[in-house]
Amino acid sequence: MTADPEATGWSGPTRRTVLRALGTGATLAGIGATAGAAQSSEPWTVVALPDTQYYAEDGTSYPRDQAEWVVDNVGGENIVHVSHLGDVVENGDDEAEWEHMAEALAPLDGAVSFSTLPGNHDWASLGDRTSSIENYRQYFGASQNAGPDDLNSYQLFSAGGYDFLHLALEWEIPGDIDDSSTALGWAQSILEQYPDRPTIISTHSYLRDSPQRRTLQVQEENGIGTEGQTVWEELIAPNSQVFMVLCGHWHRDDGEADQVSSNDDGEDVYELLSNFQDRDNGGYGLLRQIRFQPGGGSGDDPDRIQIQTYSPSEDEYLEDGDSEFGFDLDFDARFGSASDGPLAGDADGDGDVDGDDVEAIQRSIAGEDVDIDSEAADVDDDGDIDIGDAIRTRNISEEGQ
């Protein structure tokens, strides 16, 4: 739940343990789900899970239904990433709520690229950043690609022939844009590290539903944080690769809002709020499907981003204009043709991806005398040719890409 200063006035392993056990965890978790999408023109989907706090407090099955629906539809819906938008629990000091949510969302681990971020309810004392955040760290803190305080993270995934970057940033992203030891500065440094990747940013509080605008004040009781308008001006608008921002938290009206804004280069940024906690049964498991449809646009904009709001528990889509809408765009014009550059995984340069490429990468890792296309072999674009690239290339070849 949110205050409004602008208007005024289970006992098994935790998610963090699971990721550590996977070793390369967060980076490799999405390989099976995303590698097959690379070099494909088929539609793909990002799923947003808005505030689950009431499900945690009441111990309901809604988050488990969400997770199981995602796993069951990874292939059919081509789901490449799932982003939880914060407020995992209602009471950050109640370990039972954390245990419930860890167990409920456990099916996602290893099945699809998945991120969480802390909302204001996830601290031990509501909205107090000086209070403990250890329960979040224990149960959901990122163990790979993590930023400051283990509360922020980034994910890399591929779809439609593009390599994407996703940033999961904590509530009211604190810090200085020029200080990479802070959350805001760290986010800027990751954007600089991956400047050519189309980027989605998820955070907790950013866009309001009533009045519809970016936040203009910091709610954190000690003033530690950054309001949405400043996040826009310092982090999003200057970095043209960022084309979408997802957030939750606000629910003064219906908990939904969307707008298209122009960044410093005149490019569109799609800003989307979804938070259904004030609806019946805390939102009865509603989630957002963000479907990218190559060739699905009209006129001069050949592609489309289609938004749908769906409850797996009720098998119900919301069809009002705030819940079902879309945007036409030209993805190639914005980010370059998906066919530009070498074929990802084609380490031997013969025009396809098969077992020979996997062998070539493995021989290169072992230091044997083998010539490879290092740009094509570095499938995950992390600057290194390593076992992650060999695994991902194997998966691409098995999908017949």
pLDDT digits (tens, 9 = 90+) for 350-393: 667 888 889 889 988 988 878 888 888 888 777 888 888 888 88
CATH of the domain at 23: 3.60.21
Q: Name residue, tokens 């989630």.
A: 287
Is 47 in contact with 70 (CB distance < 8 Å)?
Answer: yes
Is 377 in contact with 393 (CB distance < 8 Å)?
Answer: yes
Looking at the fold, whether 360 and 286 belong to one and the same domain comes out as: no
Looking at the fold, whether 363 and 274 belong to one and the same domain comes out as: no
Q: Say what the pLDDT of residue 198 is.
A: 97
pLDDT digits (tens, 9 = 90+) for 299-324: 889 999 999 999 999 999 999 999 99
Task: Return phi, psi of residue 309, to 5°.
Answer: -120, 125
Closest CA to 249 of 118, 93, 71, 61: 118
Q: What is the mean pLDDT of residues 14-35?
A: 35
State how many domains the chain has.
Answer: 2
Place 32 in a pLDDT band, splitting at 50, 70 and 90: very low
- 400, pLDDT greater than 80: no
For residue 362, give its domain range. 355-398
pLDDT digits (tens, 9 = 90+) for 186-216: 999 999 999 999 999 999 999 999 999 999 9
Looking at the fold, whether 40 and 98 belong to one and the same domain comes out as: yes
Q: Is residue 2 one of the residues assigned to a domain?
A: no
| Token reading at 330 | 């030209």
Closest CA to 250 of 87, 66, 56, 83: 87
Q: Is residue 342 one of the residues assigned to a domain?
A: no
Question: What Å distances lie between residue 28 and 102, 167, 337, 376, 389, CA to CA?
Answer: 20, 16, 26, 18, 10
Distance CA 192, CA 188 (A): 6
pTM of this structure? 0.80
- 345, pLDDT greater than 80: yes
Chain centroid offset of residue 253 CA: 25
Q: What percent of the chain has pLDDT over 90?
A: 70
Helices (H), 114-236: 134-140, 183-193, 228-231
Looking at the fold, whether 394 and 261 belong to one and the same domain comes out as: no
Looking at the fold, whether 366 and 330 belong to one and the same domain comes out as: no
Q: Say what the pLDDT of residue 143 is.
A: 64
- 12, pLDDT greater than 60: no
| Token reading at 59 | 């111990």
Closest CA to 155 of 202, 108, 119: 202
Q: Is residue 43 one of the residues assigned to a domain?
A: yes
Of 15-19, 45-49, 91-95, 111-115, minimum mean pLDDT range: 15-19
b or e along 9-41 (b: 16 or more beta carbons within 10 Å of the residue's beta carbon)? eeeebbbbebbeebeebbbbbbbbbbbbbbbbe
Question: What Å distances lie between residue 371 and 203, 349, 378, CA to CA?
Answer: 42, 10, 14
Looking at the fold, whether 235 and 366 belong to one and the same domain comes out as: no
Q: What is the mean pLDDT of residues 97-120?
A: 97
Looking at the fold, whether 272 and 359 belong to one and the same domain comes out as: no
